[in-house]
Structure 1
Amino acid sequence: MSNATRQSSAAARERLEALTDNSSVDTSALAAQLLAVTDLLDREAGLRGTLTDPGIEGQRKADLVAALFRGKIDAEALDLVSGLVRSRWSRARDLTHTCEQLAFLAEIIGAERSDALDDVEDELFRFGRIVSGSVELRAALSDRRAPAGAKAELVHSLLGSRVNPVTDRLIVRLVTQPRGRSLDAGIDSLTKLAAARRNRVVAVVVSAVPLSDQQKQRLGASLAKIYGRQVHLNLDVDPSVLGGVSVRVGDEVITGTIADRLDEAARRMAG
């Protein structure tokens, strides 16, 4: 990500956070309208190019946005989109990507308001594990030839009424509008966005058996000391590790499993 795009994205997030400090703002409606704008910009390359053209004054681009969207989206969404087109972008698609990210962040803020963000993070992780464990399901959800409506219905049938509506909307979006990303990458990006909202990191923890509440608390406290921030634990059980715990934080893996120790012993014997 270039410096121009990084600065513009950060400024857009700040505007969204300031806007949603007002509890009267409907975050789900705001997200839906930002996604509608994202889809239009994805379809219309000419418009996308015009709105990111550095040779056109920012206010002129904001006036064009107002003419296109006034009466079609709420004032809050229009204000955010106008701010986006006034900013500078390294690539035209950076504008579209940021607009979608603002929609995702609006949904996350809505979940946080209702004290459901922990549930949403856990549900996203669980769904990702279900998909990664089934070749057939992953193929069905990733099939570009399948109608978006059919894939959305498949998601609804898998999730049922057990999950938070925010989780349902986010996953349906990732499945029906992948925009060149894998489902795994999309879910990972959402969990990181949610963690960043509360200035914490996400740790994927794999153990041979479910951890007790005491073990989870102890592990969370230890990781918080290492990383200097609160750590959200995404927990998974895999009997193949044979005992112990494996922890992944970003690209860093901390292993302490019996299987790893056996592998290490085998490598030493072979050497």
Structure 2
Amino acid sequence: MDSAYRRSLHGAREGLHEVLEHDGGSVDPARVGEDLWALARLVDGNAVLARTLADPSREGSERAAITERLLSGKIGDGALHAAKATVSQRWSGVTDLATALERVSVEAQLVHAQRAGRLDQVEDELFRFSRIVESTPDLQSALGDRRAPVAAKRSLVERLLSVKAAPETVTLAAQAAVGVRGARVERTLVAYLEQAAELQDQVTAVVTTAIPLRPEQEESLRSTLSRQYGRTVHTNVVIDPDVVGGIRVEIGDEVIDGTVSHRLDQARRLMAG
């Protein structure tokens, strides 16, 4: 993410949070997120509209005014304010604008989950769903088929997710399946998880182990990692019997591999050398 895009996205997010914090937080973040997602899809699918709203030759205020003329009465007032704040930023092209609208729509859904006290649940459920998608080629194909109707993809996601899944999980998983810019669902889910961690000022660790960790073991690992990284660490645990024993921890590009399988591989390489 380059610095110019980052600055513009920061301005878009500020516009969103102005809406969500206005009047004591009375605006429904989920409704705002749904409206912004619909706009992201519209911009992604309408080249003329996209070029107009991302046109760098127009002032940001002019693009915001065009947005108001086009959308007033068609989406909620809160979403309209956030949309105007987003299009008024400077974007390098229509792809960046569609991406930014998607990101602010996702952030609104995550804020809704956070206010309801279930953001950690949403993170865990989205992570588990992403693992299912990654390990199931037929599911990847079904969700990645851009010719499939949006309603059909949402219905498939709803059937796959537990009836106990948070509503925001279902919404975000369905959004990832439908996608904008032709992005693969697996990569989109990873981006959503990164947003959830950022919203809570956390980093996420993927922990791979042969058997489930006991609650006290997982808490001890989180505490140790949080002290090491100076930030709260959220753990997503993957069970993989092939690691035999020990654990592997992945945080961003950093990998701490203490598994038995890794040590055996190292020993085999040494013996082969």
TM-score relative to the length of structure 2: 0.95
The 3-state SS of whatever aligns with 1:124 is helix
Give, as a single letter, the amino acid of the residue that structure 2 aligns with 1:261.
R
Give, as a single letter, the amino acid of the residue that structure 2 aligns with 1:33.
D
Pairs within 5 Å for 1:119-268: 119-268=121-270
1:26 to partner: Cα distance: 0.6
1:201 to partner: Cα distance: 0.2
2:19 match? 19
The 3-state SS of whatever aligns with 2:109 is helix
Instruction: Give the count of matched residue pairs.
Output: 271
Counterpart Cα distance in 2 of 1:83 and 1:178: 20
Deviations 1:119-159 (A, max 9, x none): 00000011111222222222222233433322222111111
Give, as a single letter, the amino acid of the residue that structure 2 aligns with 1:36.
A
Select which of 108, 119, 132 maps to 1:106. 108
C-alpha RMSD of the superposition? 1.4
Give, as a single letter, the amino acid of the residue that structure 2 aligns with 1:98.
A
1:23 to partner: Cα distance: 2.3
Give, as a single letter, the amino acid of the residue that structure 1 aligns with 2:111.
I
Q: Is the 8 A contact 1:2 1:90 kept in 2?
A: no
Pairs within 5 Å for 1:62-73: 62-73=64-75
Give, as a single letter, the amino acid of the residue that structure 2 aligns with 1:13.
R
2:77 match? 75
Give, as a single letter, the amino acid of the residue that structure 2 aligns with 1:80.
A
Q: Is the 8 A contact 2:146 2:178 kept in 1?
A: no
1:34 to partner: Cα distance: 0.5
Query: Unaligned 5+ residue runs, structure 2?
Result: none
Tell which deviates more after alignment, 17-26 or 92-101. Answer: 17-26
Query: Unaligned 5+ residue runs, structure 1?
Result: none
Counterpart Cα distance in 1 of 2:182 and 2:90: 23
The 3-state SS of whatever aligns with 2:55 is coil
Q: Does 1:7 align with 2:4?
A: no
1:75 to partner: Cα distance: 1.5
Deviations 1:74-133 (A, max 9, x none): 211111111222221122221111011000000000000000001000000111112222
TM-score relative to the length of structure 1: 0.95
1:213 to partner: Cα distance: 1.3
Runs of 4+ in 1 over 6 A off after TM superposition: none
